Amino acid sequence: MKNLKIAVTGGAGFIGTNLLQELKKRYIDAEIISIDIRNPQYPVSGIKYELCDVRLKDRLFTPLNSSNKIFHLAALIGTHESFDNPSEVFETNIGGVLNILDFVKRNPQTELFVAGMPGIWNNPYSISKDAAVRMALAYYETYLIKVSILRWYSVYGPYQYINRYNKAVPTFITKALNNEPLPVFGNGNQTSDFIYVQDAVNLAIDSLENRKWGKVIQCASGKGITVNQLVNKIIKLCKSSSKVAHLPMRIGEPENAYVVADTEELKKHYSRKPITLDEGLSKTITFYQQTKILD
């Protein structure tokens, strides 16, 4: 397509950075714009970066103007952290998607990707992300907008922040590389399903290429791993002498949670072979060994 314009909200973040890199590879001649409230720590060459809050509709519509594709990733994230500012979480995660949906409603030729999550826990972040998915579906059913939705499970990989959100994989890797104690909340029997960030962004781009409008598809491996198993795997891959330090459970997260994707729909619509957990962790470890640690 000539004069293709692609907008990515949340482009300065972890997944956004990886998405921008892949978009540049696939759409060499496209105009690609990142919309975020922060400047990127790792800017991608050839990307135009705009500082803008997705809550500010009047300002947001200017950089979105004439977009052929929009990838909406912008969100305030964190499970227990979201209790500190629930109003801001809802304003950003629900109000932000409503502004994007209103733009697409007014510009029906625009294709929209909305990033979701499992949405099964009772904390402001999970509730707001689930509401955002439901609003996207409501706009699809009511206005027939071109929207594709993927529920990403635990995404990990290069460029993930270390200290800002206390995510398991980057925390465990960086501490293991320094032979420091690895903090495990609760008994460590929580079971999660991980997806490497390159797989996540490829599926997002594919979802618009394949025109899977109005579908909500769970995206992960379909295989669960407990926190204890993950910690031991990372210690081994890092050749670390780290030990586990068990801590009290954080609010907003059940102790024996089991969060594993049903991948039947994913396999039905997408044929990409995912990167294995061991391979993805090895790539991520190499990244943190070679790269300045992100805050």
pLDDT tens for each residue of 39-96: 999 999 999 999 999 999 999 999 999 999 999 999 987 666 777 788 998 999 999 9
Q: Residue 252: which pLDDT band, with cuts at 50, 70 and 90? A: low
pTM over 0.85: yes
Mean per-residue pLDDT of the chain: 93
- Distance separating alpha carbons of residues 191 and 210, to the nearest angstrom: 31
Could you tell me the end-to-end alpha-carbon distance of the chain, in angstroms, rounded to an integer? Answer: 38
The amino acid that residue 132 corresponds to is: A
Domains of the chain: 5-290 (3.40.50.720)
- Distance separating alpha carbons of residues 103 and 6, to the nearest angstrom: 14
Summarize the confidence of residues 268-295 as an average pLDDT. 88
Structure-token pair, residue 204: 């997002």
Buried residues in 109-132 as b, exposed as e (16+ CB within 10 A): ebbbbbbbbbbebebbbbbbbbbb
Angle at the Cα of 60 (from 57 to 64), degrees rounded to 5? 130
User: What's the pLDDT tens digit per position in 118-158?
Assistant: 867 788 888 999 999 999 999 999 999 999 999 999 999 99
* pLDDT computed for residue 123 by the predictor: 85
- Distance separating alpha carbons of residues 175 and 252, to the nearest angstrom: 24
Show Cβ contacts of residue 37 under 8 Å, excluding neighbours closer than 6 positions. 51, 52, 53, 74
Whether 238 contacts 176, CB under 8 Å: yes
Percentage, residues of the chain above pLDDT 70: 95
- Distance separating alpha carbons of residues 37 and 39, to the nearest angstrom: 7
- Distance separating alpha carbons of residues 214 and 61, to the nearest angstrom: 23
Q: Residue 272: which pLDDT band, with cuts at 50, 70 and 90? A: confident
